[in-house]
């Protein structure tokens, strides 16, 4: 675990295909692109969600894939300030999407407002219950 | 009872020698006489302290060349304590022996053997450390056995921080998948994986590495 302050002040950098914080903490990798995009395609084709809460922007692969499925509502939570800026820049090219800069733990939401929660964070600050592996998704309503 | 002999380097000033007649009743206090070399019991008798002895300066015990040194606490424990460094120096073998108990070496820092160690008995390594999720260069100092995180997002390890020459580490994966990156791939550093191929390990699988000459070499894996 690292502190919230360390996390917020860390430098995000894509180096040799790995998105790292302070050259140490692994957030996501370019090599995951094919696999994770396929996962999103499979979820969207099967469950046809229209309102999606996405946790963790990373390299934007999942967000870009979700946008191919004409969502009515697409909320992305991203805690890291530099990655949030990248996500904001990305979001200008798409519709019905909002990016929020906060930790999931600080985000108040009603599950009734979403059909799907896709959680793809690399949790470095808050403890995670044993056995919970990311990415994972939860179908609602 | 031995007698106190103060026949060397007597100081000019008067000083008080604590009578030892009270031994067994009060603590025996040997004050610090600057410049005074005092010998206790240069005769053949034993020097016995039945209660407590307080020495304000150093205490040196010289044994005869034909006798083994012997310090004994009867029917109770013994503590030798210092607030600074302590040296136990032997010009020959040094034996630390417990005939009916455990010998424990405790340090808040590191216990270091500077030469070879031989164990006639078994060795049990009990310090199993859980790696931090997301740490691409985990700290492996002072341990050999590690387990992967029980939760989190899968991630890659490109090297291990603070290795020691010859260190062997064993890693058992838990819930969080970990990819070990071979040195030949783009993000690789100094891990030589079997077949020079990155490999993702999952729950209950194990992998072992040896650190030698600045590189980590995979010794074995078990895809349980």
ipTM: 0.89
| B175–A1 CB contact, under 8 Å | no
| Gap from B125 CA to chain A (nearest CA, Å) | 25
Give the A:B interface size as CB pairs under 8 Å: 64
Please indicate if any CB of chain A lies within 8 Å of the CB of B192: no
pLDDT band at B36, cuts 50/70/90?
A: very low
Mean pLDDT by 10 residues, chain A (141 residues): 95 94 95 95 97 97 96 97 97 95 96 96 94 94 73
| Residue range B160-209, pLDDT digits in tens | 999 999 999 999 999 999 999 999 998 899 999 999 999 999 999 999 99
Task: Give the tens place of pLDDT for each residue, B1-15.
Answer: 445 554 455 444 444
Tell me: pLDDT of B146 over 90. yes
CB contact under 8 Å between B155 and A16, yes or no, is: no
Identify the pLDDT of residue B111: 85
Residue A123 · residue A7 · CB < 8 Å? no
What residues are paired with A7 via a beta bridge? none
Cis peptide before A135 (omega within 30 of 0): yes
DSSP string, B172-194: E--SS-EEEPPTTSTT--SEE-G
pTM, to two decimals: 0.74
pLDDT for the residue numbered B76? 78
> Does the pLDDT of residue B24 top 60, yes or no?
no
- d(Cα A47, Cα A87) in Å, to the nearest integer? 25
Minimum distance, in Å, between the CA of residue B147 and any CA atom of chain A: 13
| H or E element, residue B5 | strand B4-5
CB-based contact A130 B153, cutoff 8 Å: no
Token pair in block for residue B40: 């206790």
Please provide the average confidence, as pLDDT, over all residues in chain B: 81
Round to whole Å and give the CA distance between B149 and A93: 37
Which residues in A lie closer than 8 A to residue B175 (C-beta atoms)?
130-133
pLDDT of residue A62: 97
């Amino acid at each position: 675990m690292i502190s919230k302050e360390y996390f917020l002040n860390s430098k995000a950098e894509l180096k040799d295909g790995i998105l790292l914080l302070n050259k140490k903490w692994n957030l996501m990798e370019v090599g995951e692109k094919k696999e994770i995009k396929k996962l999103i395609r499979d979820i969207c084709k099967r469950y046809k969600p229209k309102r999606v809460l996405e946790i963790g922007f990373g390299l934007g692969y999942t967000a870009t894939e979700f946008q191919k499925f004409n969502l009515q509502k697409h909320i992305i939570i991203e805690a890291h300030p530099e990655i949030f800026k990248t996500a904001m820049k990305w979001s200008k090219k798409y519709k019905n999407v909002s990016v929020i800069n906060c930790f999931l733990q600080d985000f108040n939401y009603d599950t009734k407002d979403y059909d799907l929660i896709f959680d793809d964070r690399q949790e470095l600050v808050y403890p995670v219950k044993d056995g919970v592996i990311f990415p994972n998704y939860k179908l609602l309503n | 009872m031995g007698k106190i002999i103060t026949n060397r380097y007597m100081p000019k000033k008067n000083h008080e020698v604590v009578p030892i007649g009270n031994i067994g009743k009060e603590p025996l206090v040997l004050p610090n006489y600057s410049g005074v070399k005092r010998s206790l019991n240069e005769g053949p008798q034993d020097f016995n302290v039945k209660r407590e002895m307080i020495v304000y300066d150093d205490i040196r015990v010289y044994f005869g060349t034909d006798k083994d040194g012997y310090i004994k606490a009867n029917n109770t424990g013994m503590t030798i304590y210092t607030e600074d460094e302590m040296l136990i120096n032997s010009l020959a073998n040094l034996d630390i022996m417990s005939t009916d108990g455990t010998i424990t070496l405790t340090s808040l820092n590191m216990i270091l053997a500077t030469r070879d160690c031989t164990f006639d008995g078994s060795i049990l390594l009990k310090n199993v450390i859980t790696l931090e999720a997301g740490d691409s260069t985990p700290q492996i100092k002072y341990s050999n056995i590690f387990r992967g995180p029980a939760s989190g997002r899968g991630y890659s390890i490109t090297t291990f921080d603070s290795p020691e020459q010859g260190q062997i580490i064993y890693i058992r994966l838990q819930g969080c998948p970990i990819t070990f990156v071979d040195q030949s791939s783009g993000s690789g550093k100094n891990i030589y994986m079997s077949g020079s191929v990155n490999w993702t390990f999952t729950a209950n699988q194990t992998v072992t590495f040896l650190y030698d000459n600045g590189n980590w070499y995979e010794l074995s894996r078990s895809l349980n």
